[in-house]
Amino acid sequence: MRRIAVLFIFCLSVLTPLLSNNTFFIAIEESGGLNDTVRLDEVIVTGTMPKVNLRNVPMSISVVSGNKITDRMQPSLLPLLTEEVPGLFISQRGVMGYGVAAGAAGGMNIRGIGGSPTSGVLVLIDGHPQYMGLMGHPLADSYQSMMTERVEVVRGPASVLYGSNAMGGVINIITRKQESDGSHKSAQISYGSYNTLNAEVSGGMRKNQFYTNGSIGYSHSDGHRVNMDFEQFTGYAKAGYDFTGSWSSFIDLNLSKTLSSNPGPLPNPIIDNDADILRGVASASLENDFAYTSGAVKLFYNFGTHKINDGYQAFITPTQPGVPPEHRFRSNDQMFGVSAYQSYSFFEGNKTTAGIDLQRLGGKALNVFPEDRARDSTQVDIHINNIAGYLNMQQTVLNNRLTLNAGIRLDHHEINGSEWIPQFGLSFTPTAYTSIKAIFSKGFRNPTIREMYMFPTRNPNLEAERLMNYEISLLQALPETGISLGVNLFYIKGDNIIQVQMVEGRPLNVNSGEIENKGFELTANYNASDNLRFSANYSLLNMTNKIIGAPEHKLYVNGNYTIDKWHFSTGLQYLGNLYTSVTPQPITENTWLWNARVNFAVLEWLNIFVRGENLLGQEYEINAGYPMPGATVFGGLRIDL
């Protein structure tokens, strides 16, 4: 940690002479298109609940814009986030599809907090939690590009506002909204390696105060290995009404039907490991926004059904075939929640927010015996209630140069009891183009129903995981040259982490793990001209206790160039000391991944594109035993009306 502090002081000493230069323009951590810029007064919602200027937020927040998402020409959001957000890593296993259960990818971690299955990073859609009632984690295959307006990522604990599962950070997917009267329609289709097909249609309309948005999609891939098929149907619909300039509302529904197969690790292939997953999220929101107060009441309902065949070994010996299991896993889960908050400015520079969250989560899991249904057995059938209240105060002083932020949350879990979560931070802007921030915050995670009551490792006596996060950051830019920079340093210390250990001869979930992670993150943007833009980010993660799927070094360099009707984009990513196994001995991967995209505007409404991934043909694994595909190529067209 001492070396990290020295590095920060060095960076600060280099940039300090620039602080008095009022010609700087901040473009922090933005991942937008060529003409996108982020000012310190950009409005964000994640990490604050009510809208607030980025200059006043003490935590580190990365913004991935709609332009960047559209330019990517890819159905899933997650590969883009892995590249563009420092400190965030999302595991993969193939050309399309993350899968579930054994052999699944889609594990998300921020600064080494999260893992697989992800339950320490909270995914939101328009502020609504997305995790499963039983398993307690999101489903990576559910998050599609076409419904997304932008993504805001909080790097670091956000438990004071979002409670459990936000221990490592938050990914908030903000959906599209038709802003002006009229309508728009878009369609995109692509095809490429391993018989991979993706087709999407989206549209929206608005008339006066009423608006609608929606999208449907279909994806299919044979996969780069036998028994790695993937098929998915998705649909999203949103309807809203702006009653006045101060009151608005919307309802939405997001559905996905996913069919996936897992071939097992290469040294030990398996058969009939198939999953049939239906996931849905319905929500309703009523929002208000006045001069001195703003807030919302949100209701959401997550539901899903899961039909999973765990598969069996293709062979026990070269001459002896494997034996199919007698039972299959089936489950359904629900999560109902109500969230209400109101923010009020009691005096100049003040914003005080009070909120309450109510959640009821649970479901039923079964072992089903197809040949003898009388033997069907229930693993768990339970629902658990959680209630929380929080208060966050923000005060700006010194002519709006210094913002103080303090928050506290009391979270009560029906089984695990109560937890206090504090947070304190400050943001100092000595010029209009410079921001220095510091924050100390607590993160926590309640054990999931899966960890307490399901499978042989279950333990109903588990306690909450806890950690403390300490962070300082500096954001600086030089607008006359088109350069902007950011540096973050963090130290995370946690205990009570749930791990599987042998207790009295059997595996058991116990609160025995510890976390001590430290490191730094760098971001840089260079707008060379209106047509040429470069960006880069790097993160160093030093983990005392290693986890799978968290690289020690992650570097991404990206370039975009537009000329006439052509748009070229390329990115090079380096993953260093990526742990694919930690026991019985550590196994790491080091690899360079090169991607490129070319887009040609044939007509004002018609674009054709080609994209290639892993063009260097690197051989590497993220999930142990699951080699990633070599070079892949995809082509397609997009229509915008």
**pLDDT over threshold 50, residue 4:** no
Q: What is the pLDDT of residue 9?
A: 39
Q: What is the mean pLDDT of residues 158-184?
A: 91
Give the model's confidence band at 532: pLDDT under 50 very low, under 70 low, under 90 confident, else very high: very high
- For residues 632 and 609, give the distance between their C-alpha atoms in angstroms, rounded to a whole number: 14
CA distance 174 to 490: 27
Indicate the pLDDT class of residue 244, thresholds 50, 70 and 90: confident
pLDDT, position 40: 55
β-pairing verdict for 506-527 and 532-543:
antiparallel
Most confident of 54-63, 107-116, 251-260: 251-260
In percent, the amount of the chain with pLDDT more than 70 equals 93
Q: Is the pLDDT of residue 387 over 50?
A: yes
Whether 135 has a pLDDT exceeding 60, the answer reads: yes
- Residues in contact with 18: Cβ distance below 8 Å, sequence separation at least 6, in sequence order: 24, 434, 476, 478
Torsions phi, psi for 84 (to 5 deg):
-85, -20
pLDDT beyond 60 at 621? yes
| Lowest pLDDT segment from 29-38, 137-146, 355-364, 545-554 | 29-38
Residues of the chain above pLDDT 90, percent = 69
Higher pLDDT: 188 or 47? It is 188
Q: Note the pLDDT tens digit of each residue in 398-422.
A: 988 999 999 999 999 999 999 999 9
How long, in residues, is the chain?
641
Q: Is 379 left (phi over 0), alpha (psi -120 to 50) or beta?
A: alpha
pLDDT band at 21 (very low <50, low <70, confident <90, very high): very low
Q: Is the CB of residue 313 less than 8 Å from the CB of residue 268?
A: yes
Average pLDDT on 593-612 reads 96
CB count within 10 Å of CB 429 equals 23
Average pLDDT for 452-474 = 95
18 pLDDT band, cuts 50/70/90, is very low
What homologous superfamily does CATH list for 2-640? TonB-dependent receptor, beta-barrel domain (2.40.170.20)
Residue 41: the pLDDT is 61
Q: Which residue type is seen at 579?
A: Y
What DSSP line would sit under 323-343, residue for residue? ---S-EEEEEEEEEEEEEEEE
The confidence score (pLDDT) of residue 479 equals 82
Predicted pLDDT at 11: 42
* Closest alpha carbon to 445 in 485, 398, 494, 491: 494
Query: Domain coordinates of the chain in residue numbers?
Result: 2-640
Torsions phi, psi of 54, nearest 5? -60, -30
Query: Residue 15: pLDDT band by 50, 70, 90 thresholds?
Result: very low
Q: What is the mean pLDDT of residues 62-70?
A: 87
Measured over the CA atoms of residue 161, residue 162, residue 164 and residue 170, the dihedral's sign is negative
Section 11-28 average pLDDT: 37
pLDDT(121) > 90: yes
Query: Do the Cβ atoms of 609 and 188 come closer than 8 Å?
Result: no
pLDDT value of position 43: 75
Q: Where are the strands (E) in 88-225, listed by range?
A: 88-90, 108-110, 121-125, 128-129, 148-155, 169-175, 182-192, 196-207, 210-221
What is the pTM for the complete model shown?
Answer: 0.92
Q: Are residues 62 and 32 in contact, defined by beta-carbon separation less than 8 angstroms?
A: no
Rounded to the nearest integer, the mean pLDDT of the chain is 89
The H or E element that residue 362 is part of is strand 350-368
pLDDT in the model for residue 5: 45
Q: What is the pLDDT of residue 615?
A: 97
